[in-house]
Amino acid sequence: MAKSFEGIDFYNLDALLGEEERMVRDAIRRWVEESLLPVIGDAYIEHRFPVELIPEIGELGVLGANLPEEYGCAGLNNVAYGLIMQELERGDSGIRSFASVQGALVMYPIHAFGSEEQRRAWLPALASAEKIGCFGLTEPDYGSNPAGMITRARETSDGWILNGAKMWITNGSMADVAVIWAQTGEPGDARAIRGFVVPTDAPGFSARDQKGKLSLLASDTSELVLKDVQLPHDAILPGSNGLRSPLMCLTQARYGIAWGAVGAAMACYHEATGYATERVMFDGPIAGKQIQQARIADMLTGITQGQLLSYRLGRMKDEGTMTPQQVSLAKRANVDMACNVAREARRLLGANGILVEYSAMRHMANLESIYTYEGTHDIHSLILGQAATGIAAF
């Protein structure tokens, strides 16, 4: 099995990257090869997030890497941040999810909507992975439509009281802090949704592992229950203002996913082409058979298109012109592409393709979650449909 991650860069995008962007990418690529790949297969089979890597992940500076240095973050541009997500997901979608949630869904809202005290209290510790965070938006009955959430925050003279349940929460059981979105007004009033910083040791807060997953096995996914959780007045994110605020966080996370999915596809392509060159059947390597070459050509085309989308999206994000709809297009297209590449790579590998020693089936199974979370493929179709026609069809 070919192990080394040579670049797959058919259109020489490398030439468009700055020196720092290349250095960051190469450093994370090395870490994935040397530290993550040797352990990820076993962690996956054992259904556990490789927690022993958390201190190293903190030291790498990948958590909230596009947030400012004054809060202990790396202060990188968004292309460098995207390249980090790409490289992490070449290793495993669960590791990229861990970093996405921590950076885009916990640190971003604390930075964007938090008070200066909240920023200073949480961001440095989250950047170094001394503290772990999770993001609670989805509820058992409100997945694609978070506007209807029933988790409620009620203000009293002593502070806030939160009641409700959140479902499918990444990092939920290992988190020290949860960013919880709750309704503070009348049910269905999307403008009254606000964010809260909830320490997970608050009385009444509990997290339970989601059992029975067949995807994203090296990731902590949990159900959160909030039962009369009492919080001080200053637990609210003061700048959060309606459903728009959590949706702004999703834009950040979806941006990273658009890059990450390309990374998963690159890993599958690399493995499949290496295998095809070595595997001999009917007196020659299967790489010399036309059907396999067509399969490989489709993979290479999809990956190259995905790389171009991510790169351009990143430059627009750095210029400040990127729109949420452009992010939807890239998340939808790149994840769909990666699902196809992983499936075709697994098939090319024959029986070996179902083994954990190879990565294609792990990526294939993981990518089914990525297809669903952060807005399902269908929801992004509808976002793009609305952008194209002006008609909301949700």
Compare residues 169 and 330 and give the one whose CB is closer to ligand FAD. Answer: 169
Bridge partners, residue 161, by sequence: 154, 230
Which residue from 124, 135, 129 is spatially nearest to 197, judged by alpha carbons? Answer: 135
Binding segment toward ligand TGC, per CB under 6 A, in 25-33, 52-60, 225-233, 374-382: 374-382
Q: Does 165 bind ligand TGC (CB under 6 A)?
A: no
Q: What token pair was written down for 381?
A: 């179709």
Return the SS3 of 264. helix
Total binding residues toward ligand TGC, as defined by CB under 6 A: 27
Near ligand TGC in 334-373, by CB under 6 A: 373
Distance in Å, CB of 281 to ligand TGC, minimum = 38
Distance in Å, CB of 95 to ligand TGC, minimum = 10
Distance in Å, CB of 379 to ligand FAD, minimum = 6
Dihedral angle at the C-alpha atoms of 108, 257, 149, 174, nearest 10 degrees? -70
Distance in Å, CB of 284 to ligand TGC, minimum = 42
Compare residues 124 and 324 and give the one whose CB is closer to ligand TGC. Answer: 324
User: Could you say which of ligand TGC, ligand FAD, none residue 136 binds, taking C-beta under 5 to 8 angstroms by partner kind?
Assistant: ligand FAD
Bridge partners, residue 205, by sequence: 226
Return the SS3 of 3. coil
* Residues 183, 151 contacting (CB under 8 angstroms): yes
Q: Which of 53, 126, 243, 268 binds ligand TGC (CB under 6 A)?
A: 243
* Beta-strand relationship, 159-170 and 221-231: antiparallel
How far apart are alpha carbons 394 and 19 in whole angstroms?
43
Q: Does 223 bind ligand TGC (CB under 6 A)?
A: no
Query: Which H or E run includes 183?
Result: strand 177-183
Distance in Å, CB of 307 to ligand FAD, minimum = 25
Compare residues 237 and 379 and give the one whose CB is closer to ligand FAD. Answer: 379
Q: Is 116 exposed, middle or buried (0-12, 13-18, 19+ CB in 10 A)?
A: exposed
Angle at 28 between CA 252 and CA 260, to 5 degrees: 40
Q: What is the CA radius of gyration of the chain?
A: 21
Say which DSSP state 283 is in: T
- Clarify whether 59 is annotated catalytic: no
> What letter represents residue 366's amino acid?
N
Near ligand TGC in 143-162, by CB under 6 A: 144-147
Count of H-run helices and E-run strands, the chain: 12, 9
Q: Which of 136, 195, 256, 263 binds ligand FAD (CB under 6 A)?
A: 136
Binding segment toward ligand TGC, per CB under 6 A, in 75-83, 138-146, 228-236, 279-287: 138-146
21, 139, 271, 374: the catalytic one is: 374
Distance in Å, CB of 391 to ligand FAD, minimum = 13
Q: How far is the CA of 61 from the CAs of 112, 263, 273, 316, in angstroms?
A: 20, 19, 32, 23
- Between 116 and 135, how does the x/- string for binding to ligand FAD read (CB under 6 A)? -------------------x
Q: Which residues are catalytic?
A: 374
Sites of contact with ligand TGC (CB under 6 A): 97, 100-101, 135, 137-138, 144-147, 170, 190, 242-244, 247-248, 250-251, 253, 324, 373-375, 379, 383, 394
Sites of contact with ligand FAD (CB under 6 A): 101, 135-138, 143-144, 168-170, 216, 221, 369, 372-374, 376, 378-379, 394
